[in-house]
A and B are shown apart, each in its own frame.
Chain A
Amino acid sequence: MGLFKIILDWLDRRIGVREIVAKELTGYLLPRNINVWYSMGSILLFIFGLQVVTGILLLIHYVPDADKAFKSVTFIMNDVPFGWLIRMCHAVGSNMMVLILLFHMLSVLFMGSYKKPRELNWLSGFILFNLIMGISLTGYLLPWSQLSFWATSVATNSAGSIPVVGPFLVEFLRGSKLVGPATLGRFFALHVAVLPLAIAGLIGAHLFFLKRTGISTPPFGLKESGNQWQGDIYRYEDHPGGIPFFPNYALQDATSIALYLAFFLAVVFFDPYLFFTRESFVAANPFQTPAHIKPEWYFLANYQTLKIFPNELIGLSLQGAAMTFLALLPFIDRGSERHPLKRPLFMAAAMGGIILWIGLSIWGHYS
């Protein structure tokens, strides 16, 4: 401990680290009734970090060329020591990120944390959710397997039903009439440069909003669960007498991350191909469409919606409307009550939406 104290003293005299620690860690007080759902954001931050690290490692051996991409992925899996581990962590991690992101959004929805004055937190988070979907979709093509190729063909094709600009949009997305080497080039650039930077920037904005407005109080275990903010002036929501972020909640964050890691590594080691299909192990063949090609599990509901309606435009418009409704939720649901059981209309709509989403996904899986 002696050396640690010497370094701390040295830093403290120069940049006042003890003041930062007192203000941002030990003196950063959280609501006394804070719960485990508040650690989802930390898990997501951890996953994003892991995706960046494993992604950079994959870049060392991956070749973004239609003739070499599949071979380079096979090389990583079979010949590079621990290449399988790095790739599996990246592939499984991307699915886990979407899963935890959904949990994070659900907890925010049910605890009413999206309500004023936190509209910007919700909006930035919602854009992040879309960017994560985008980075998953673009990453899906990179192994250049039959699954990558045809899933991307189907996904990009759905934009074609937009009136007037649809066909142009599809060609623009693909960089050619059909999915091909040009698509791989642009999806690669989006996946490794544009989207990670956009996501990192938005995470910064999301955390900035969180720090400026202050963390929301969970509506549970309180007599008054309504929102006290009047909308008159800027006010930081502090929690006098609350529990310190460090060490108390940092320990909860660490515990949640450890539990997540146990779950994540269980999949990586015991069922690594959970999110893979037979077509994932066959190189892309533009002349042969495999039967029953399906998108990733989180796009299954969208996929099934498009299949239900005879007119693709209706299916696409409905999805657009649902997404717009979700994005603008804090501006639509303006009541101050945050306890889920005291918001019957919200509860009914939310449960209905979740059941519909799960139902469509299962239908899409077995259809």
Chain B
Amino acid sequence: MVNDDRRKFLAICLGGLTASAVVAVGYPVYRYLAPLQKENAAGKVVIPEQELPAGGAKFFEYAGSTAVMVRKQGGDLVALSAVCTHLGCIVQWEKEKQDFLCPCHAGRFTPEGTVISGPPPKPLAKLPFVVANGVITVG
């Protein structure tokens, strides 16, 4: 019986040591492999207003992802995530039809990001922006 207790005690010690070793090796490796935080990941993006004529769109990188700014025919501005809500492809702006088409599975969205047709389950995410002195600031 004494032997059994000793075995159990040693097994617990060995288990504890192994667990510590796994953490000591695993944590640095995880941190090494984890995506690096870019300095401007949460930064703002500035677009001069003249770069967006009526009916036009401008794609840009925002918070580590792709976004798009659209000026509708009426002159209203909309900032959206350009990542299709179906399987993550980047939507394309169709100037003639004034809508977004996802080339992967033919999902269509209005300039407001609402789903018109195809498989996307949700509208494109809207992004906050302000316009001041002829400059659009997203974020």
Which residues from B are CB-within-8-Å of A29?
Answer: none
The tally of CB-CB contacts under 8 A between chains A and B is 21
Interface of A, helix, strand, loop or mixed by DSSP: helix
B28 and A86 within 8 A (CB): yes
A57 and B36 within 8 A (CB): no
Q: Give the distance in Å from the alpha carbon of A293 to the alpha carbon of B104 in the complex.
A: 57
Which residues from B are CB-within-8-Å of A82?
Answer: 28-29, 31-32
* CB-contacts of A60-114 with B (<8 A): 60, 79-83, 85-86
A86 and B32 within 8 A (CB): yes
A79 and B36 within 8 A (CB): yes
Shortest CB-to-CB span from A258 to chain B, Å, is 10
Shortest CB-to-CB span from B12 to chain A, Å, is 13
Query: Is B34 in the interface zone, CB < 8 Å from A?
Result: yes
Name which of B32, B33, B34, B36 has the most chain A CB atoms within 10 A of its CB: B32
**Across the two chains, which residue of chain B brings its CB closest to A81?**
B31
Count of chain A residues near B, Cβ 8 A: 9
Which residues from B are CB-within-8-Å of A57?
Answer: 29, 32-33
Count of chain B residues near A, Cβ 8 A: 7
Q: Give the distance in Å from the alpha carbon of A311 to the alpha carbon of B7 in the complex.
A: 67
Which residues from A are CB-within-8-Å of B36?
Answer: 79-80
* CB-contacts of A174-228 with B (<8 A): none
* CB-contacts of B1-48 with A (<8 A): 28-29, 31-34, 36
- Given A80-B36, A81-B34, 7 more A-B residue pairs with CB atoms under 8 Å apart are A60-B33, A81-B31, A81-B32, A82-B28, A82-B32, A83-B32, A86-B29
| Interface residues, chain B, with chain A CB atoms under 8 Å away | 28-29, 31-34, 36
Could you list some 21 contacts between A and B, CB below 8 A? A57-B29, A57-B32, A57-B33, A60-B32, A60-B33, A79-B36, A80-B32, A80-B36, A81-B28, A81-B31, A81-B32, A81-B34, A82-B28, A82-B29, A82-B31, A82-B32, A83-B32, A85-B28, A86-B28, A86-B29, A86-B32
The 10 closest A-B pairs by CB, nearest first: A82-B28, A81-B31, A82-B32, A82-B31, A85-B28, A86-B32, A81-B32, A57-B32, A80-B32, A83-B32
